[in-house]
A = this chain, B = another copy of it.
Amino acid sequence: MSRKKAGRRAPTESDVAKVAGVSQSAVSRAFTPGASIAEDTRKKILKAAQSLSYQPNLMARSMATGRSNIIALAISSLENPFYAQVVKELSEQLRETGRHILLFTTSPDGTADPELERVLSYQVDALILTATTASLELTLQCQKAGVPIVQINRESNLSGISTVRGENQRAAEQIADFFVAAGHTRFAFVGGSESSNISQIRQQAYIGRLKSAGFEHVAVAYGNYTFEGAAAATRILLEKPDRADAIFCASDYMAFAALDVVKREFGLSVPEDIAIVGVDDVPEAGHAAYDLTTYSQPAAALAREAIKIIDSQMASPGRRAQRREVRGQLILRGSTRLPPQGVLTIEGKKIWQS
């Protein structure tokens, strides 16, 4: 009655203290790295803790310290293998420092997600947004509470939000150059969404570079970063007169959809009739079924930089938002034909440099 019936409540520091014959504070110190406690006492306490199979209550700890060791991660498109990879990397890398991820799946337009606004209730140490954008209100709340925000693969014009991204500009330019070098003449672009600035940057750089090379017209359609959306976008592009012979898709996942449509619905052969390039270099891009040429965007490095930013922001809260870029390269596979020049083979991989 007085205690919960099923399984007496979890042991606390006081319980351990009683067994070890010390005070509760001593137990606390035994579990606090760097605290002032004699080695003998600590051992005695750890033994007692062991015998009770004591586990510190992190909720209580976080209430006392103001730190939870929990990082909120908002993500919109887990079905995209690239982001699944990012989540995995973040989870594993954070675990190395004893932190864990509280997961929020949002709509792609996270701006409108009311649930996310409640993130701060969990006293998270930081907020990582991948493939989502923070609303203004959330940003302000986080800033007031001193919770750093890092966006992966989304830019934001809100000050105070840090950003980690791949080489969007360079990727797009390299791909444009590559298409031109391979002799293509009719170009298309499958973008994410018109509101994704990352997609816009890629689009502008791609179109700009093609223009410099003398190609004025680039067909554009948006796939909204979904498979079905990209398939539809590809259909639109392919039905246009003067059909493209080279498509740049703003993500591998969308490029897979494009390949599906190109091959099955339009009966075109790749890369003879049309070349397709993506961005990300997800594992599937290397599988025989897709064999996709793509500009890589290493998930592990993105995760690492994001965590670095969080750590530095937490160390010196005043610091202003940071922007970091992770390098990639154009990896050549079967979805494109090779240009006569610029192809390098490094560690078994073909890459291209203009």
What residues make up the interface of A, taking CB atoms closer than 8 Å to B? 4-8, 10, 53, 55-60, 62-63, 68, 70, 73, 78-79, 81, 84-85, 87-88, 91-92, 95, 100-105, 115, 118, 120-123, 141, 143-146, 227, 256-257, 259-261, 263-264, 283, 287-290, 317-318
Q: A143 to B103, Cβ gap below 8 A?
A: no
Query: Would A6 and B290 be within 8 Å (CB), given that A55-B118, A121-B55 are in contact?
Result: no
Check A144/B256 contact, CB under 8 A, given A84-B79, A103-B100.
no
Q: Provide 26 A-B residue pairs closer than 8 Å at the C-beta atoms, listed in order of the A residue.
A: A4-B146, A6-B146, A6-B317, A7-B144, A10-B120, A55-B141, A57-B121, A58-B121, A59-B59, A59-B68, A60-B63, A79-B81, A81-B81, A84-B84, A91-B103, A92-B105, A100-B104, A101-B103, A102-B102, A102-B103, A103-B103, A227-B283, A259-B288, A260-B288, A261-B288, A289-B289
Complexed CA–CA distance, A91 and B283 (Å): 24
Judge whether B123 and A58 touch: CB under 8 Å.
yes
- Shortest A83–chain B CB gap in Å is 9
Shortest Cβ gap from A58 to chain B (Å): 5
- The answer for the CA separation of A73 and B78 in the assembled complex, in Å, is 15
In the complex, A141→B10 CA distance in Å? Answer: 9
A289 touches B103 (CB 8 A): no
20 further interface pairs, Cβ-Cβ under 8 Å (given A7-B145, A55-B120): A6-B146, A7-B143, A55-B141, A58-B122, A58-B123, A59-B62, A59-B63, A59-B123, A78-B84, A79-B84, A79-B283, A88-B105, A92-B105, A95-B105, A95-B115, A100-B103, A101-B102, A256-B287, A260-B288, A263-B288
Q: Do B146 and A7 touch (CB < 8 A)?
A: yes
**Nearest B residue (CB) for A83:** B84
Specify which of B53, B104, B122, B263 is in contact with A59 (CB 8 Å cutoff). Answer: B122
Contacts of A8 in B (CB 8 A): 144
Query: A68: nearest residue on chain B (CB-CB)?
Result: B59
Across the interface, A78 reaches (CB within 8 A) one of B68, B87, B257, B260, namely B87
Instruction: Give complex CA distance A89, B122 in Å.
Output: 21
Q: How far is the CA of A104 from the CA of B88 in the complex (A)?
A: 9
Query: In the complex, which residues of chain B have a beta carbon less than 8 angstroms from the beta carbon of A120?
Result: 10, 55
Kindly report which residue of chain B lies nearest to residue A80, judged by CB atoms. B84
A103 to chain B, nearest CB (A): 4
Q: Of B4, B122, B290, which contacts A289 at CB under 8 A?
A: B290
